[in-house]
């Protein structure tokens, strides 16, 4: 009896012990799981923060790199701009020095020319009916090549050079330009500086339609009367150059026709030193008196009878007669086998 009771009590105690142990084990597992979750929850935000921080760092580094590159580019650009500006300034200085040296050399050469003969001559030629190159003054003939002077062009071909002297406008130049355009003929217009300034649209039309604008002096004075003063002589030609450049942005062609055909050895030499070719003519007629115009028949016959190989024809656009006959003259000259060209 006693043994049975003891046995039962032992069993009960054993069950209680097992129950206590089981409870402890269960509680331990729950605590461990809770701790694990808390630890995980604590770690996850930190990792995210670290990751975000790393991304932010990379972004900042990228921005810094881009900023550095941008600064480098700007620096390089500024350096290039500075170099370009410096080179441009050096080029301008060199151009200025070169221009000054050229002016000094020119002045020296022009001063040396003072020793040359300044006897004034009038250009003239002897017309003929054989369509041959006319004879001219022997004084000029002997110095033509020496001072880059011409009165005819290529006499080996049937070629004509049409030139016109513009002192002032008489409302016929546009009509003459119309005729030249319709016949596909180009001419050389010798102009005064005042003509350029007073008739800019006409001069621009000349240039735009392929004609040559050349120098006829500033004031239409005898060139020989200006040779005693170098600066005055230079101004007489350079004034036209400047007026033309101001209007067109281009350099004027270096052809010069002495007003009234007056010249001296000294004036021809000074003209050459300024870089010009002096251009006289092998045909001209009295067409410049606006109140005493020749008849159309007389003018047309006179011009056509004076044609020859290489002829430099001088006409004045102030002439009403010229504006009326020019179309017929050009067409007839072409029928005779002549071609029109610009001055060589």
Q: Residues with catalytic annotation?
A: 165, 316
Q: What value does the CA radius of gyration of the chain take, rounded to a whole number of Å?
A: 49
Pairing mode of beta strands 135-136, 125-126 = antiparallel
Contact at 8 Å (CB) between 182 and 327?
yes
Residue among 178, 183, 139 nearest 160 (CA): 183
Displacement of CA 159 from its chain's centroid (Å): 32
Q: Distance between CA atoms of 78 and 70, rounded to whole angstroms?
A: 12
Q: Distance between CA atoms of 271 and 267, rounded to whole angstroms?
A: 6
DSSP string of 202-268?
Answer: HHHHHHHTT-EEEE--SS---GGGGTT-HHHHHHHHHHHHHHHHHHHSSPPPSEE--GGGEE-HHHH
DSSP string of 257-308?
Answer: --GGGEE-HHHHHHHHHTTPEEE--SB--S---TTSPPPHHHHHHHHHHT--
């Amino acid at each position: 009896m006693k043994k049975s009771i003891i046995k039962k009590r032992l069993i009960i105690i054993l069950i209680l012990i097992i129950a206590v142990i089981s409870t402890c084990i269960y509680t331990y597992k729950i605590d461990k799981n809770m701790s694990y979750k808390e630890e995980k929850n604590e770690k996850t935000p930190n990792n995210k923060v670290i990751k975000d921080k790393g991304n932010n760092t990379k972004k900042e580094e990228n921005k810094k790199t881009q900023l550095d590159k941008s600064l480098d580019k700007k620096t390089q650009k500024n350096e290039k701009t500075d170099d370009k500006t410096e080179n441009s300034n050096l080029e301008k200085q060199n151009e200025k020095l070169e221009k000054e040296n050229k002016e000094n050399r020119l002045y020296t050469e022009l001063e040396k020319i003072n020793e040359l003969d300044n006897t004034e001559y009038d250009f003239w030629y002897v017309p003929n009916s054989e369509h041959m190159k006319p004879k001219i003054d022997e004084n000029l003939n002997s110095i033509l090549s020496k001072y880059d002077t011409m009165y005819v062009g290529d006499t080996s071909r049937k070629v004509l050079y049409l030139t016109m002297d513009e002192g002032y406008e008489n409302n016929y130049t546009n009509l003459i330009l119309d005729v030249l355009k319709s016949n596909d003929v180009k001419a050389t217009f010798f102009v005064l500086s005042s003509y350029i300034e007073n008739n800019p649209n006409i001069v621009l039309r000349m240039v735009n339609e392929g004609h040559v604008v050349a120098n006829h002096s500033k004031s239409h004075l005898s060139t020989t009367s200006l040779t005693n003063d170098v600066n005055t002589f230079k101004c007489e030609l350079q004034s036209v150059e400047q007026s033309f450049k101001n209007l067109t942005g281009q350099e004027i062609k270096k052809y010069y026709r002495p007003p009234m055909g007056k010249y001296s050895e000294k004036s021809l030499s000074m003209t050459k030193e300024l870089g010009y070719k002096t251009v006289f003519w092998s045909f001209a007629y009295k067409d410049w008196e606006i109140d005493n115009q020749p008849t159309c028949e007389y003018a047309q016959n006179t011009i056509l009878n004076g044609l020859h190989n290489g002829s430099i024809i001088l006409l004045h656009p102030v002439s009403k007669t010229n504006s009326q006959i020019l179309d017929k003259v050009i067409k007839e000259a072409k029928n005779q086998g002549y071609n029109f060209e610009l001055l060589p």
